[in-house]
């Protein structure tokens, strides 16, 4: 479900879930007798970024699982059978056969999640606007606030170029670190 919803919709839904007085999360905690665990999830600067990150993970985990499932299905069954016949247990099978063949899918997932976390503007903006006290401000919300709220276009332009260079560098390093040779 979260895959087909827009990030803005997801942000509004989870803002309601996290609401300190009427929210579903605090209501569920109270219903099971855990009143001491209730919290102002988006209003506390110490945990707001973790609350937004949990929503970001929830919203994209389906796509990542599809990539990993596709990678697992692409592994030839003969290789798995051969490893089992050679005496490989579940851990050895995963570490020596499955994980190396899943490396290309893992590289895509790592790059995609990194880029998504850098450009999570719509989710952060709809849930917190970068607050409380700049606790959830990320580079993209900083660029937006610099350009359209404070009219400091020079800062916004510089931050945008930095943003491009940072994402490019991170993607390059991830692909270089996770690169594998294709098996023909």
- Say how many C-beta atoms besides its own lie within 10 A of residue 179's C-beta: 10
- Residue 179 is predicted with a pLDDT of 66
Question: Residue 177's pLDDT band (boundaries 50, 70, 90)?
Answer: confident
- Residues 29-33, mean pLDDT to the nearest whole number: 96
Residue with tokens 């009427």: 22
> Whole-angstrom Cα distance, residue 53 to residue 41?
12
pLDDT tens per residue across span 45-64: 999 999 999 999 999 898 99
181: phi then psi, degrees, rounded to nearest 5: -85, 135
> With bands split at pLDDT 50, 70 and 90, how would you rate the model's confidence at 117?
confident
Position 65 pLDDT exceeds 50: yes
pLDDT of residue 72: 93
Q: Is the pLDDT of residue 183 over 70?
A: no
pLDDT at 156 over 80: yes
Q: What is the mean pLDDT of residues 161-168?
A: 91
Q: Where are the beta strands (DSSP E) in 31-182?
A: none
Residue 69 has pLDDT above 90, yes or no: yes
**What domains lie within the chain, and their CATH numbers?**
7-178 (1.10.3720.10)
Q: How far is CA 172 from the centre of its chain?
A: 19
The arithmetic mean of pLDDT across residues 176-180, rounded, is 69
Task: Give the whole-angstrom CA distance, residue 94 versus residue 89.
Answer: 9
Q: E-strand spans in 3-42? A: none
Give the pLDDT score at 4. 77
What percent of the chain shows pLDDT beyond 90? 70
Q: 34-46 pLDDT, tens per residue?
A: 999 999 999 999 9
CA-to-CA separations, 178 to 5, 66, 69, 105, 116, in angstroms, rounded: 30, 19, 18, 10, 18
Answer yes or no: pTM beyond 0.85.
no
Average pLDDT of 95-119? 86
């Amino acid at each position: 479900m979260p895959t087909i919803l827009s990030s803005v919709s997801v942000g509004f839904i989870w803002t309601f879930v996290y609401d300190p007085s009427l929210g579903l999360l605090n209501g569920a905690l109270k219903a099971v007798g855990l009143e001491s665990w209730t919290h102002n999830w988006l209003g506390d600067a110490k945990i707001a970024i973790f609350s937004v990150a949990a929503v970001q993970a929830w919203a994209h985990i389906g796509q990542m699982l599809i990539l990993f499932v596709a990678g697992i299905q692409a592994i030839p069954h003969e290789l798995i059978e051969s490893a089992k016949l050679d005496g490989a247990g579940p851990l050895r099978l995963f570490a020596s056969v499955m994980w190396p063949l899943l490396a290309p899918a893992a590289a895509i997932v790592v790059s995609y999640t990194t880029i998504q976390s850098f450009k999570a503007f719509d989710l952060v903006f709809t849930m917190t606007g970068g607050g409380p006290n700049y606790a959830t401000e990320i580079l993209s919300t900083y660029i937006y606030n610099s350009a359209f709220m404070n009219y400091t276009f020079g800062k916004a332009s510089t931050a945008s170029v930095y943003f491009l260079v940072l994402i490019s560098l991170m993607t390059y390093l991830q692909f270089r670190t996770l690169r594998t040779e294709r098996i023909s």
